[in-house]
Structure 1
């Protein structure tokens, strides 16, 4: 089973998804790549006013990020799982915890903003997973089209379009993943998932080790060190439940010696 491109989902767990999710059309339409922003917003009970001088329509769109659950957890049956905005909020806090060894090289304010922006397109696209009939290229097209809609149609006239252009540029920087800031935020995306994984294991008693593989994609030594602590805590959790070897997906279990805290 191959891991996904991003740290949010896995192909294991519940294979079938019948509950409609934000931005996802029926399977045949999705396969034919007929998705468009209009195909989504035309189905909403209230359309967002476009081309205005006010950011209020944009504020309303953000509500969808607060109410759309992260699909990977739902596939594993985690009840009342986090929303997309829950994930982005804690990511933004994590960026501010960067140790001096890495923060001295980064624009941390940009990293914080990037964390709050990077999944914004999911407000209309939805949280696409590998079991959805959408290719990586098609997912990218949908997200790019959505960001054009947000930054142009909704924010294009507000403040001369400055805020929309800045938001679009930061989102694109994350997608391109070429700058130090974007690479760091990609690492933060992964370690935030690992924190949440452990917390759901504690709360619900589920072995969510399928998600541990994302640690192999973390690049910075500083964030890898955070993952080491998370994995040590995970070993102790499952030992306390009488399980010596919970599932590890492509990751070597931590050594018996705890990491330096």
Structure 2
């Protein structure tokens, strides 16, 4: 690689440091401090590494980890959209596409193309790796909210039906983890921290 490629890579590395400043609605487990996107991404990677044996199909763990490391980088420009937001869609938006092109475009062309393709794969959620990565992305906030007496569910009046519908994505990546998640959701209703 040329020295100019190194300079582009360093610019990208400096730019993605901004992910540490993007606050999510969810709070850390057993805490009242909001999680930031960088913490979220790190935690998902560790979860994927530990829980990969529960995936519905064998997965390329390195590809899953790449997805989890970069899936929220677009939020540097587009901001974090709360999964239960009733005003703005949580699905891939033109705003996120523009962000992906700008931020990944800081890299040398070949690397930029690779990361955009990995980001698109995660967003599409069709490969085994994407399904498992998305399962991790939906599991972590469930663990956080159940540890925080309902957390964002209580704060924003999120109902059982909405939680159940959004968390179904877990099933596509892991039936075993879905069984655990479904039990957590049902237990949350019984405890009164999630309203039906």
Kindly tell me: are residues 55 and 169 of structure 1, through their superposed partners in 2, closer, same or farther at Cα, counting changes over 3 Å? same
CA distance in structure 1 between the aligned counterparts of 2:124 and 2:139, rounded to whole angstroms: 20
1:152-203 Cα deviation digits (max 9, x unpaired): 2x11x3xxx322221111000011111111111111111111111123339x
* Deviation of 1:119 (Å): 1.0
Which structure 1 segments of 5+ residues have no match?
1-50, 239-243, 251-261
Q: Mind listing any 5+ residue stretches in structure 2 that lack a counterpart?
A: none
Aligned length: 179
Residue 99 (structure 1) shift: 4.8
Which residue does 1:172 correspond to in 2? 120
How many angstroms apart in 1 are the aligned matches of 2:122 and 2:116?
10
| Aligned counterpart for 2:145 among listed residues 179, 197, 201 | 197
Contact 2:149 / 2:193 at 8 angstroms: preserved in 1?
Answer: no
Q: Is the 2:20–2:38 Cα contact (8 Å) retained in structure 1? A: yes
SS in 2 for 1:175: helix
The equivalent of 2:74 in structure 1 is 121
Greater relative contact order, per chain length (Cα 8 Å cut-off, separation 6+): 2
TM-score by length of 2: 0.75
Q: Which has the higher strand share?
A: 2
8 Å CA contact 1:190–1:218 kept in 2: the answer is yes
**Greater radius of gyration (CA):** 1
1: distance between equivalents of 2:56 and 2:191? Answer: 35
**In angstroms, what is the RMSD of aligned CA positions?**
3.2
**Hey, what's the Cα distance between the residues in 2 that align with 1:218 and 1:61?**
31
TM-score (norm 1): 0.58
Say which structure is richer in helix. 2
Question: 2:154 touches 2:194 (CA, 8 Å); kept in 1?
Answer: no
Indicate how the Cα distance of structure 1 residues 144 and 117 shifts in structure 2: closer, same or farther if over 3 A, else same. same
